[in-house]
Amino acid sequence: MCFRFAKIQMPAEEKIIRSLVKTAVECYASGFSDRHLSALDDPDGTINMKIHNVFIAALGPEIQYYTALCRSLDSSLGNMLEKLAVNIAEQSYSVSKNVEGKLFEEQTQIIATLLESYKSHRKTPTVQDYQTLRSNTFRKSAEKRHDSDYYLVDKDTNEHILIELKIGGDLDNKKSRSEKEAVLEQFAILSNNLPQGTPIKIYFATAYNRFGEDKPWNQSRVKQFFADEELLIGKDFWNLICKSSNGYEIVRSTLQASMRQFIKEYRIEEEFRYSARNYQHVWYKVYQIIIGQSYDKG
């Protein structure tokens, strides 16, 4: 997807984004380490509560604990990226986390009919499908509130942007439908709240392309409910959030450089050769790698 953003021309703006990314990585790494180290001997701790899959346990303790840490890393990293995107967006947009106002019964019916047509493959999604929600002839309404991943208002153009973000974008059919329903209801509420003709756009976004950046994004279950022009996949998401055609590269390169500070000069794989009874040494080593501190096996 192509946006008409100019590359960031003011070094100060790029510096702010890089600073936000670096701070986010540092806080994430430190918090992740402290949280897991403090619960190392707690049977209800973060890692110890993730090791009870008997089928993975059959592969051995090293793999058992390694996969538990990977799941914890994946989850907490996703939370960090979501918060980082909000902080970056606030530099160029007014950012809200909810939409509330009137939703008319006729709008609810239009949305239900659209979703059913997508589900049965009678219709391929387009942006034009839901413009009828902007009619001013509806009568019976009720107040409704929706939590939103990102409700952005462009400070320069007054464009209103609704984004549902899923870090990797791997949704099943039911979840895709519910995501589209939620964002369409938010679109309808904004249409009722804002002056006629105010630009409103909706998007489904991912923080990265799980098929590889610059490769086709072929998540058919999502595309069954979202049009191609409603997708912000990886690079497109970060470019919009940064309001720059170079936004993704700024975020990616800074994140990569910051992460390297925490893993350089170490080989994690070698530490997993320890026996199961010494697994705590393994985890302590991994924790220290994350925050970039030295480690002595003792």
Q: Please determine, for residue 287, whether its predicted confidence score (pLDDT) is greater than 80.
A: no
Look up residue 213 and give its two tokens. 């950046």
Average pLDDT over residues 151-167: 95
| Crossing angle between the packed helical segments 61-89 and 247-263, to the nearest 10 degrees | 140
pLDDT digits (tens, 9 = 90+) for 83-93: 999 999 999 99
pLDDT digits (tens, 9 = 90+) for 243-254: 999 999 999 999
Q: Please determine, for residue 147, whether its predicted confidence score (pLDDT) is greater than 60.
A: yes
- Helix (H), strand (E) at residue 156: none
CA angle centred on 154, ends 150 and 155, rounded to 5°: 130
Instruction: Report residue 94: phi and psi, to 5°.
Output: -85, 130
The answer to which of 105-119, 121-135, 157-171 has the lowest mean pLDDT is 157-171
Q: What count of other Cβ atoms lies within 10 Å of the Cβ of residue 135?
A: 14
> Tokens 């974008």 — which residue?
169
Look up residue 215 and give its two tokens. 């490769």
pLDDT digits (tens, 9 = 90+) for 161-201: 999 999 887 777 789 999 999 999 999 999 999 999 999 99
pLDDT band at 46 (very low <50, low <70, confident <90, very high): low
**C-alpha–C-alpha distance, residues 249 and 187, integer Å:** 30
Q: Please determine, for residue 155, whether its predicted confidence score (pLDDT) is greater than 80.
A: yes
Q: What count of other Cβ atoms lies within 10 Å of the Cβ of residue 43?
A: 8
